[in-house]
Amino acid sequence: MKRLLSCEFNFDTVCVELRFSDGTRIAIDTIAVENKVADNMYQRSELDYLIYNDPIAYADLILNGDSEAYLKAVTEYKTFEN
């Protein structure tokens, strides 16, 4: 892969799509990612925020980062029993 030319969320496919200068394209299925890594609505909300507001950071997190560790660090989940 070469230089990143574009990264955007496609509402029709529900994917974050990346396009590189060498013609490579990557589509990240956001629903599949949420089903795999998000355990609760707070983690899903964090992923949704990244998808809509910073799709490049979302793509980097999913492709290069530890998404499960990130979600545990940035979300606080408390039950009503606490």
pLDDT tens-place string over residues 10-26 = 999 999 999 999 999 99
Residue 35 has pLDDT above 70, yes or no: yes
Pairing of β 4-10 and β 25-29? unpaired
H helices within the chain, ranges in order?
Answer: 30-37, 41-53, 55-64, 67-74
The whole-model pTM stands at: 0.84
Give the per-residue pLDDT at 80.
65
**Mean of pLDDT values over 64-74:** 87
